[in-house]
Amino acid sequence: MILYNLLRNLLYFVIMILAIFNGKLLKFFKSRLFQKIENDDFLNSGEEAIFIHFSSVGEFNLTKELISEILEGKKTGKKEKVILSVMTNTGFEAVSKEYSENRNVKIFYFPLDDFLAIRKIYKKYKIKKTLIIETEIWPNLYYFAAKNGELFIVNGRLTEKKLKSYLKFGWIVKKTVNRAKKIMVQSVSDRERYEKLGIKRDKIKVYKNLKYSIKYNKISEDQKKEYYDTVVDRNKKAIVCGSTRPDEEKIWLDVFEKININNEYQLIIVPRHLKRVYEIEKMILEKFSRNDYSLFTKIEKNKKNSETGKYKKIVIVDKMGILTDFYQMSDFAFVGGTLVDIGGHSILEPLYYGKKPIIGKYFQNIEEIVKDAKELGFIEIVENEDEIVEYLKKFENVDTREFFEKNNEINKILDEILY
């Protein structure tokens, strides 16, 4: 711990020098290391809080139901107060939007595992339990969490790549992670990798991914009508390619060219990163005319499709936060990061809406969920363009209610934490 904090202080010195010439970097560190930390009557005399740390919007979304259950005290009959710690700016904004008016919730930026800041939090607030969502190893946070109460790792995940990285610092990682009372991981493979770190076997439990507990938003009939009037051609089969990565769009454009001979399909591309929109436009223009495609924001602005009846063959969704809207409108849903070696993004959104996800062979990041879906025939794994074309000649929605009910183990996780 002493060596770790000495190295941190040295790193601070270097970063602060760089921050003098970088306003964004300076703002980032100031907001986390010099934020106001005080009790301000959040906890009454004798009250204790549960501290929950996650990194970003994604981890927050999968933790919402867990937070709700703890706040409402459905399992114990006692409502709890919760302190939420988040790393990213977008995560902080999402958490604040959800809970800023809730007097039983306190929100902080994670203070970058700074010894003094973490100590101050645990000194100002009586924290009985600390939950780390997924696997972020912060030695100071783990130390004060275990010293002042109980520490739990929830929805833990450890890839082979991360394992190799952590093994280089085995002396501190083993000691740090073993401070946890319970480590709840997503799969048997994750448990085995934790054991390779030297974590005591009796601390590790395997439960299904918290993502099974997420309640995704459903668009209204009015919203559907708006999409049908402007973007989605209800007379064609809509193929929605979500969270696409470089080279995946090219594959789907080739597929679309092969299968859309009779003008039966519409292709809707939702890239993972919007900065790639221009690159995707260039790809489209290699095979199709400028009149064949449009950006979603352009259609949204003009609202002309409802008047002219001219829908685009291809739509690029250049707006954040609406991928699930298009999954709901789709006839076929492809989940990106799987035809190229990224490891895959979540297949649960299309499944939640009764759509059978199409994925490629690279799904190592979502291996357990794919396995669960495969057992019930709720996923289509393809390896090349010909296989995609053959599948697109079919059509099948699936009833996934049982799938989510069977795999939602949030109550078992709450039992581990609260009792």
Alpha helices per DSSP H over 134-259: 139-148, 160-167, 170-177, 188-196, 221-230, 248-259
- Is residue 59 part of the annotated active site? The answer reads yes
Neighbour count for residue 116 (Cβ, 10 Å): 10
Residue 64 burial class via C-beta count within 10 angstroms: exposed 0-12, middle 13-18, buried 19 and up: middle
Q: Which H or E run contains 415?
A: helix 410-418
Q: Buried b vs exposed e over 134-163: b needs ≥16 C-beta within 10 Å?
A: bbbbbbbbbbbbbebbbbbbbbbbbbeeeb
The answer to whether the CB of 49 falls within 8 A of the CB of 83 is yes
Handedness of CA 119, 120, 124, 130 (dihedral sign): negative
The answer to whether the CB of 52 falls within 8 A of the CB of 85 is yes
Q: Buried b vs exposed e over 11-29: b needs ≥16 C-beta within 10 Å?
A: eeeeeeeebeeeeeeeebb
Tell me how far CA of residue 31 lies from CA of 259, 346, 376, in angstroms. 52, 31, 47
Tell me how far CA of residue 145 lies from CA of 142, 149, 169, 181, 196, in angstroms. 5, 6, 21, 10, 24
Residue with token string 């709901």 = 328
Question: Phi/psi of residue 294, each to 5°?
Answer: -155, 155
Show Cβ contacts of residue 64 under 8 Å, excluding neighbours closer than 6 positions: 98, 214, 215
Residues 392 and 402: their CA atoms lie apart, in Å, by 25
Which residue out of 38, 47, 59, 286 is catalytically annotated?
A: 59
Neighbour count for residue 232 (Cβ, 10 Å): 23
* The dihedral formed by the CA atoms of 343, 63, 51 and 118, expressed in degrees to the nearest 10: 30
The angle at the Cα of 232, spanning 239 to 214, to the nearest 5 degrees, equals 65
Q: Which residues are catalytic?
A: 59
